[in-house]
Amino acid sequence: MPKARLSVVVTRRLPDPVETRMKELFDVRLRDDDSPMSRDELAAAMAEVDVLVPTLTDRIDAGLLGQAGDRLKLIANYGSGVDHIDVATARQRGILVSNTPGVVTEDTADMTMALVLAVTRRIPEGLALMQSGDWRGWAPTAMLGGRIAGRRLGILGMGRIGQAVARRARAFGMQVHYHNRRRLRPETEAELEATWWDSLDQMIARMDVISINCPHTPSTFHLMNARRLKLMKPDAVIVNTSRGEVVDENALTRMLRAGEIAGAGLDVYERGAEINPRLRELKNVVLLPHMGSATLEGRIEMGEKVLLNIKTFDDGHRPPDLVVPSML
């Protein structure tokens, strides 16, 4: 008698090749539109399936996990970050959690450098000028930005993405500095030509550009708080392509408005899609709709990792990208 296919629910629309393969392998329920599931919809799905495939827009907390049915044994997250999932509670209930690490490294590093250039070279302002039809031609002092070659880049979080940013920054002639929970091995530092700072405060005070590339954990919430933001040089800029919660958004907004920080490039926000409206008014701020990892290639690779995690689990083995609480 053939083995029954796993029952899988996917909470958001995924690229067509991924959804097609899902249908071939599993008894899958796909999303008709691309809106996030409501809490009630999530609870209903978790009560009756073997595998849930959520995304970062789905908050899987202890309350929802308490409503999960006995069948739910794997949460195969579509994404590398799992701060929206109570992993410890899931494990206590016998539910495994997997993710998709390493896929978005290059794409996010590309976007980090794009934001650094966009802010320092005033690209959005130039685009707006052209689209308005008000440009009257070249002038020696018009739209002056700043050269990034020779500037000091301070990377906060030197994991896969931070190191990929460092490699790009060196190619642009920037000086690479970093603060990390653990210092890199000497050979890695030498390869990246990166200088380690034990003191985050001291690094921040001396950098021309700060790039946030650390995950959101209880210890990194508001790591860039008002006090640390005030340490930045008035002509420095900050770029965040990691997690919005790492930066105190209200404090950042106040300082940008007051001219105490020269500019910011943000792809993530402290309250998700609820962006501080005062940020939208500022010419020295570049805002993007969380598109750092938004490449077709990356999204398909993420889906392939989800498929591999589920298929490996279905075959009775440990998912290759299993998340355990000690990793967080």
In a domain? residue 221: yes
* Predicted pLDDT of residue 216: 86
Residues 246, 156 share a domain = yes
Domain harbouring 70, CATH code = 3.40.50.720
Residues 267, 233 share a domain = yes
To the nearest whole percent, how much of the chain has pLDDT over 70?
98
In a domain? residue 2: no
Sequence-ordered alpha helix ranges (H) in the chain: 16-25, 39-46, 62-65, 87-92, 105-120, 123-132, 160-171, 186-192, 200-206, 226-229, 249-257, 277-280, 296-314
Residues 183, 62 share a domain = no
Reported as a single tens digit per residue, the pLDDT across 238-273 is 999 999 999 999 999 999 999 999 999 999 999 988
Residues 150, 252 share a domain = yes
Range of the domain at 136: 105-287
In 3D, which of 207, 244, 213, 259 has the Cα closest to residue 228?
A: 207
In a domain? residue 60: yes
Reported as a single tens digit per residue, the pLDDT across 176-231 is 999 999 999 999 999 999 999 999 999 999 999 999 999 888 899 999 999 999 99
In a domain? residue 1: no
Residues 55, 124 share a domain = no
Residues 18, 142 share a domain = no
* Predicted pLDDT of residue 55: 96
Residues 158, 87 share a domain = no
Alpha carbon distance 309, 69 (integer Å):
20
* Predicted pLDDT of residue 217: 86
Residues 248, 120 share a domain = yes
Residues 322, 187 share a domain = no
Alpha carbon distance 205, 183 (integer Å):
20
H/E run at residue 194: strand 194-196
Residue 117 confidence class, pLDDT cut points 50, 70, 90: very high
How many domains does one find in the chain? 2
The answer, yes or no, to whether residue 326 has pLDDT greater than 80, is: no
